[in-house]
Amino acid sequence: MANRFLLALCLLVAACASVSPPPAGAQEQPVEIKSSALTLKIDEPAATRVGRLIWRGGIEMRASSRNFGGWSDLHVSPDGRTLTSISDEGAWLTATVDYDAKRNLAGLSGARIGQLRGLDGKPIETKAEADAEALARLPDGSWLVALERRHRLWRYPSLTATPLPVEGPREIGEQPKNGGIEALTALADGTLIAISEEYSQKPGTVMGWIGKPAAGGRYTWSSFAYATVPDFLPTSIAILPDGSFATIERAFDMVRGVRCRVMRFAASQLQPGATVQPEELARLASPYAVDNLEGLAVTRGAAGETLLWLISDDNFNPLQRNILMLFELAQ
């Protein structure tokens, strides 16, 4: 019976598999986002903590646009007012963050959506070209986007502009087609930190890179290893106010569903040739609110607290959700 149930579930997932929407188009458009509140734990609505994370609100998001979904990474402005995200279909999203009276996450408003452009200045139209997986805000205000399938880094002066190619690390083209750079962030001095979802040269790890700014908009790259545990692979990275780093690691199988770990490691671990050993801050799995979490951002709250923002990629699959969650890091 269990085998029949699993087979039926697999068939259902296949039947409801994602169907790529048409590109968002050359012109950005307003989009209305309808939000419904999430609880941290389904069977315990009053729960407010998981591991070292304190619940500051969450929403499930639906929108009036067929292009709304697939959110692979996000950035939240330092004042916590503006959210920017990219999708694995090449769309970008900006929105104003709304809070309740307790400064917990309540919704998104004033949203706009558009399509990233290719090197020819035209909106990217195919999945093979448009699979944006990671986003970093550079010190000059421009955006660096990591795309997979055909692995590359593109720098956008603005999300509506034509990008410029950025030479990545030597191994960038060796990554699995659907397992490229998912975690990307930039430090205040312009140094880039990138981690591959699947590429490995050492058992029990995946490869990461440190990119030091060089002349002419280039980078000098060195590599490190990021230690993993079975089933879990990194999907996003952000720098915390104390200079350490937070990451998301995701796992999925048909029996246990989606599970995610929120991790942390000290900046001192991040050295060429070293192996980063992150520690677990929290684990999200049913009955806790969770989905295919791929994006992570960090800001400071009004009282100086450290806030972690997590967004999910629904793969345009009706069995999945677009969710946005806000947590406070306990001291």
* Reported confidence tier of residue 2, pLDDT bands at 50, 70, 90: very low
Claim: this prediction has a pTM higher than 0.85: yes
Tens digits of per-residue pLDDT, 98-130?
999 999 999 999 999 999 999 999 999 898 899
Give the per-residue pLDDT at 18. 54
Measured between alpha carbons, how far is 149 from 176 in angstroms, rounded to an integer? 8
Tens digits of per-residue pLDDT, 19-43?
566 666 556 899 999 999 999 999 9
Instruction: Give the pLDDT mean for 140-148.
Output: 98
Query: Does the structure show a pLDDT above 60 at 94?
Result: yes
Tens digits of per-residue pLDDT, 152-204?
999 999 999 999 999 999 999 999 999 999 999 999 999 999 999 999 999 99
Give the per-residue pLDDT at 128. 86
Structural domains for the chain: 21-329 (2.115.10)
